[in-house]
Amino acid sequence: MKKFILFISLLVSLGLTAQEIPDAGVEDMSGNKLNFKDLINTDKPIIVSFWATWCVPCINELDAISEVYPDWQEETGVKLIAISRDDERTAKRIKALVNGRAWEYEIYRDYNDDLKRAFNIASIPYMIIINNGKIVATRSGYTPGSEDEIYELITE
pLDDT in tens, 102-156: 899 999 999 889 999 999 999 999 999 998 888 999 999 999 999 999 999 888 7
**Which pLDDT belongs to residue 17?**
45
Residue type present at position 109: R
Residue type present at position 117: R
Architecture of domain 2-155: 3-Layer(aba) Sandwich (3.40)
List Cα–Cα distances, 80 to 61, 76, 155, in angstroms: 12, 12, 14
List Cα–Cα distances, 57 to 54, 128, 142, in angstroms: 9, 16, 6
Calpha distance 15→23 (Å, rounded) = 19
Residue type present at position 123: S
Handedness of CA 91, 109, 116, 78 (dihedral sign): negative
The per-residue pLDDT for range 3-34, each reduced to its tens digit, is 444 444 344 434 444 467 888 889 999 999 99
End-to-end CA distance of the chain: 11
Residue 72 scores a pLDDT above 90: yes
Q: Would you call 22 helix, strand, or coil by DSSP?
A: coil
Q: Is 93 exposed, middle or buried (0-12, 13-18, 19+ CB in 10 A)?
A: middle
**Which pLDDT belongs to residue 19?**
66
Give mean pLDDT, residues 38-43: 86
Q: Domain boundaries in the chain?
A: 2-155
Burial 19-57 (b: 16+ CB within 10 A, else e): bebeebebbeeeeeeeebeebbeeeebbbbbbbbbebee
Radius of gyration of the chain (CA): 15
**Which pLDDT belongs to residue 42?**
83
